[in-house]
Amino acid sequence: MDAGRLALLLLLLSACRGPSPSPPTLDWLLGDWQGVRRDASDGTEAPMTVHVESLSEGRGQVERIQVSGAGTPYVGFAVRVPSDTSGRWLMLYTNMKRETFARLEGRIETDRVTWDSVTPGRTRESRLVMERLDDSRCKRTQRFSEDGGSTWKVMFTDELERKK
């Protein structure tokens, strides 16, 4: 991601959030992860890496994800900050395939965070669930709904281990 796009992402995110005293933490996501992404439609797997670090002010995170496979690697980038709503977080996400930012709101439940898309003008619902399995493993499941959330289909599952 170029510096201009990163600056715009950080500016948009800072404009969307408000102060949040003692937000729930997502510190368990910090660090370097490696694993596989499994496509739900055909079961194929691709190696992937995830890097998560704290924002310099300490109240948020930056994430870079790369999924390798045939052809050009998929690269995504997210910034997450506590929301002004108690117990919630806000995430802006973009990747090499999209020219806009997806906006998601996260609900934290101890070792699990559920991110629902709140992007204006979206044509389907999306939900990403990140689960801490233990100190060195986590799972991410991306689902989508084309009927307003009545039924959900898995798009992919990421199985990750913390790099040593």
CB 79 within 8 A of CB 55: yes
Compute the Cα dihedral for 107, 68, 75, 34 and give only its sign.
Answer: positive
What SS3 class is residue 36? strand
pLDDT at residue 84 greater than cutoff 90: no
CB 75 within 8 A of CB 64: yes
- The domains found in the chain, sorted by start residue, are 3-21+30-162 (2.40.128.20)
pLDDT at residue 22 greater than cutoff 70: no
- Which CA distances in Å does 147 have to 124, 151, 152? 7, 7, 8
Cα(17)–Cα(37) distance, integer angstroms? 31
Q: What is the pLDDT of residues 105-118, one digit of tens each?
A: 999 988 999 999 99
Longest dimension (CA), the chain: 45
Stretch among 21-25, 35-39, 43-47 having the lowest mean pLDDT: 21-25
pLDDT at residue 51 greater than cutoff 60: yes
